[in-house]
Copies of this chain bind each other. A is one copy, B any other.
Amino acid sequence: MSASLQIFLCIALLILAAKLCGAAMARIGLPLVLGELLAGVLLGPTFINIWRFQWFSVSGPARVSVVAVFKVLADIGVVLLMFLAGLETDVDMMRSAVAPAFWAATGGVILPMVGGAVLAHAAGYSWQHAIFIGTILTATSVTITAQTLMNLKQLQSKAGSTILGAAVIDDVLGLIVLSVVIALAPSFAHSGAASWRGLAVTLGRMVLCLALLGFVGPPFVRWVFRRAERLHGSHTEVSAALVIAFLFAFQAEWFGGMAAITGSYLAGLFVAGTPAHRCVLDDIQPMINSFFGPLFFVSIGLEVDILQLSGHVEFFVALLLVAIVGKIIGCGLGSRFTGFSWRESLIVGVGMIPRGEVGLITASLGFAAGVVTRDVYVQVVVVVLLSTLITPGLLCFAFPRSSLAGEVLSSGAMELQRLDTAVDKMADA
């Protein structure tokens, strides 16, 4: 079987599994992403282990491994997902809720990072590895937080919009920390603290690249879209957006030595400021939600071998506690500092627990670069899964009863209406 034929089968199976598991999770009120991750875990080495099937073994004259090609597809997916995250960032809201969101985010980055690093170092990892493990614990996912808040009908509350703003700032902070850590990683790994010159060059390139992207980026993107919309052809705006996303991603990693996703996230932010914003968003969402997104989330799950958790249970439990308590205390204190009540601060802290795309991407980058070993990688991915899993329940506890009564009623009413529609459809058929 040719590599292409193998990939056709692989795409069909993985998208099917992702969407079915996603729907199953959504049905019981949990985020879709969690289901797509679990689909990967199910198909991965712990249970089914699809790559062992003869259908996916290397064959044909080209001798291209379907696993390698699939990894590239997943990497294209990451770039597009982070581009979408940038595109969906509400820059205005970010500005208005900036003070409480900023302090909540900062607290929620520092505490898990320091806690994770200290814990990992105490467990015997080198400082470089320990700091990277801490970094993975910093990033809250906008997607998962927003979905949880929507489930609870609290998206527009004071705590809700602070959580959303903080999640965005958190993503940006997380990316900056990640970029610095990755940029510094080679100097750390190969020459220790001795090569100050190498470190300066690395940092200089990163700053230059960020400055270039930050100052030249926005006018460049606006210029491209002014040209693109006058260009003959179909969907030229989306094409322009894709070209910019991949070019920025390439440039961030190749020239700046940062993560490629930093580039595509910035590309998304800049495109969000152009008039083509709406059109690009509408056209690019189906592509990501139906194809590249599921493939990426399944690919993360596929890397996880839960059996490897055994023998590291104490470290794993400690890591999970740092991830949860670090966010609750860090974000909570941050919002309390700007005048929130204790309960509101608790809500913000709990709402910031779920890790998501950025954490997973960070972990997989570290794994690919060899900064994170396979067993730490597995533990971190399971921590991300669990942090997502517990948040909806914890948030229900954190919100005052009264504000949730309406939610429970309205969700009950929705469920009734859903059943009603289903019965109607069955009657029609």
Contact = CB atoms under 8 A, between A and B. Distances in A.
Contacts of A422: 230
A234 B69 contact: no
Nearest to A55: B254
Contact of A11 (B5, B20, B76, B233): B76
Given A246-B12, A291-B242, A260 B5 contact: yes
Contacts of A26: 232-233
A72 to B, nearest CB: 5
B19 A231 contact: yes
Given A8-B260, A76-B4, A286 B287 contact: yes
A128 B241 CA distance: 46
Contact of A254 (B5, B65, B283): B5
Contact of A239 (B27, B236, B240, B294): B294
A32 B71 contact: no
Contact of A23 (B5, B7, B236): B236
Interface string A1-27: 111110111011001100110110011
B290 A239 contact: yes
A36 to B, nearest CB: 9
A233 B286 CA distance: 12
Interface string A212-240: 00000000000000100011111110111
Contacts of A88: none
Chain A interface, >50% SS class: helix
B242 A5 contact: no
A355 to B, nearest CB: 21
Contact of A9 (B230, B231, B246): B246
A4 B68 CA distance: 10
Interface residues of A, number: 62
Interface string A262-291: 000000000000000000000111110111
Nearest to A24: B232
A11 B68 contact: no
Nearest to A28: B232
A76 B19 CA distance: 20
A246 B27 CA distance: 27
Given A64-B72, A250-B8, A235 B290 contact: yes
Interface string A172-213: 000000000000000000000000000000000000000000
Interface of A: 1-5, 7-9, 11-12, 15-16, 19-20, 22-23, 26-27, 32, 62, 64-65, 68-69, 71-72, 75-76, 79, 226, 230-236, 238-240, 242-243, 246-247, 249-250, 253-254, 260, 283-287, 289-291, 294, 368, 422, 425, 429
Given A2-B368, A19-B239, 5 more contacts: A8-B250, A8-B260, A230-B425, A238-B286, A238-B289
5 closest Cβ pairs, A-B complex: A26-B232, A283-B286, A4-B75, A238-B290, A12-B246
